Amino acid sequence: MRKIISLMLCMALALCCIVPAVAENAAMQPGTYEAEAQGFGGKVQVAVTVSESEITDIAITGELETPALGGVAIETMGDAIVKAQTPHVDGVSGATVTSAAIIAAASEALEAAGANLEAMDANRKDTAEDVVREEKTLDTDIVIIGAGGAGMAAAIMAQQAGQQFVILEKMPYVGGNTTKATGGMNAAETHYQKEQGIEDSVALFAADTMKGGHDINDPALVETLASKSAEAIDWLDTIGAELPKISFSGGASTNRIHAPADGSAVGNFLVDKFSAKLKELGVDIMLNTKATQLIMQDGKVAGVKAEGADANYTINCKAVILATGGFGANLDMIASFRPDLQGTVTTNAPGATGDGIVMAQEVGAALVDIEQIQLHPTVEQTTSMLITESVRGDGAILVNQGGKRFTNELLTRDAVSAAELEQEGCYAYIIFDQHLRDNLKAIEKYVTNGLTKQADTIEGLAEQLNIDPATLAQTLADWNEAVKNKNDTAFGRTTGMENDLSTAPYYAIQVAPGIHHTMGGVKINTAAEVISTEGEVIPGLFAAGEVTGGVHGGNRLGGNAVADIVIFGRIAAQSAIDYCAK
């Protein structure tokens, strides 16, 4: 009997030892717990509601995050965390900083609730068997592949024309590389230029573009870009996407780059406006749906194969518009064409992997200028964040570690990048003042993200940069004198000299070249029809934006990418509509 009682006591003690371990893993103090972490544009706040055993709700806010990227993480990651019952879920591609902030804040809140994060990770709820994909067939007139700037511009045109179409986007958000555009849109003979007394011409725009591209551009495409640019600005006005602020950009002969009134980044501005217009028009975008193959029949486009989150699609159609972007985020593909760029940071959105180029090649499309890959001279290397060309266009200068200017800051991007690579350390500092900051909203995200050094005097700024204070002070004095006299005797700069740098405090950002744009791609004609390796039009296949080659030649001018997506996105849509009507 004593043995039985002893055994029962041992079992009871064992159970007592086990129960607290289970409670440590699972028990939380019910309630709502809040925490915050630094996101891309500002603080991200997370409120986690828990019961004793599970996460029941998450509310995430981040008003300063970019709507097209960080906004997607804010909208989707809460549900993912609740579903997984752990904060350690996959982030949103392209919104890495915001995603990390959400995970960090959610983790802090859960720890405050008494959660055991290791146990949560071990018992996560979203590791079920693979989803069985359904096979679906759709029928439409046009398939637009890619919901970046060119794809969305084409979709707006198609919907306004009453055309049947579907638009596919492999990422969980719209925008693509357009979200990375910071400066503005080049256009000539616009009503904004005329209203502001700026003289320009289509011929001068075309000449600047050819010269900037080292004259290997397709002249017919360049002429189309320039001649249709004012019309494109007018069209943007009609959808509430006005670009009235005009300034200089590298390689331009006059003020031509059009930007939002407050100087905010043009890419996110247009993505927001395009998205709002598509929503107003009732257009649904198939997100998380990757096109994988073009279907051909009797030498003509007949459809698209695509993979969605829970279904495989065969989409029968009459025409396809490729608006998939370039391949600036596919570092293996870049290295295959340009081994010298191996290991270079990229400013590109993660979806820019060259999918459309590969699909087009598979059906016989010709490529043009495929090895022409552009470096942007002002990229912050630790974040790969592009410092907009408008900073230099509005009057900033570049100095080396010795505190001296070394180039005309508004030469073409390839020239400025090459000049930087010749400096000590292969980097430079972009220097600007409070007046420039006050008049260019895009700068705020650089300050918020801790990319800037700041001081009340130029000598104080020099000390933070380990530059000789007297040398940097003299460089700034010489520049301000050049602005006053409108004569840069050192490097012959003639643009972006409306305001000197004399308003404290002073700012600096360390920059170096980064992969920014792939000029080469699928060959098209002025109707945005894709051309085969035999020199013939591929019936039913159209392309627009960075997936194409020929527009920019050996070097793209700042502001021409946005012009490209809007102008040729619209042309591709109209050509596809006309083709379907035959």
Active site residues: 413
380 forms beta bridges with 385
Q: What are phi and psi of 537, to 5 degrees?
A: -70, 135
Q: How many residues does the chain have?
A: 582
Query: Measured between alpha carbons, how far is 33 from 449 in angstroms, rounded to an integer?
Result: 26
Q: What is the DSSP string of 522-545?
A: EEB-TT-EEEBTTS-EEEEEEE-G
C-alpha 208: how far from chain center: 25
Q: Are strands 142-145 and 529-531 parallel, antiparallel or unpaired?
A: unpaired
R_g of the chain, CA atoms, integer Å:
27
CB 193 within 8 A of CB 184: no
Q: For residue 13, give the amino acid letter.
A: L
Query: Measured between alpha carbons, how far is 469 from 475 in angstroms, rounded to an integer?
Result: 10
63-89 in b/e form (b: 16+ CB < 10 A) is eebbbbbbbbbbebbbebbbebbbbeb
Which residue from 96, 185, 22, 530 is spatially nearest to 324, judged by alpha carbons?
530
Query: Measured between alpha carbons, how far is 101 from 45 in angstroms, rounded to an integer?
Result: 9
CB 182 within 8 A of CB 386: yes
The sheet carrying 367-368 orders its strands as: 367-368, 521-523, 548-549
Tokens read off for 234? 């007018």
- The answer to whether the Cα torsion of 292, 298, 301, 305 is positive or negative is negative
Query: Measured between alpha carbons, how far is 260 from 270 in angstroms, rounded to an integer?
Result: 9
Determine if the peptide bond prior to 505 is cis (ω within 30°).
yes
CB 249 within 8 A of CB 557: yes
CB 168 within 8 A of CB 145: yes
Which residue from 267, 351, 309, 326 is spatially nearest to 67, judged by alpha carbons?
267
Alpha helices in 197-265 (DSSP H): 202-212, 219-227, 229-238
Query: Measured between alpha carbons, how far is 193 from 205 in angstroms, rounded to an integer?
Result: 13
Alpha helices in 246-304 (DSSP H): 266-280
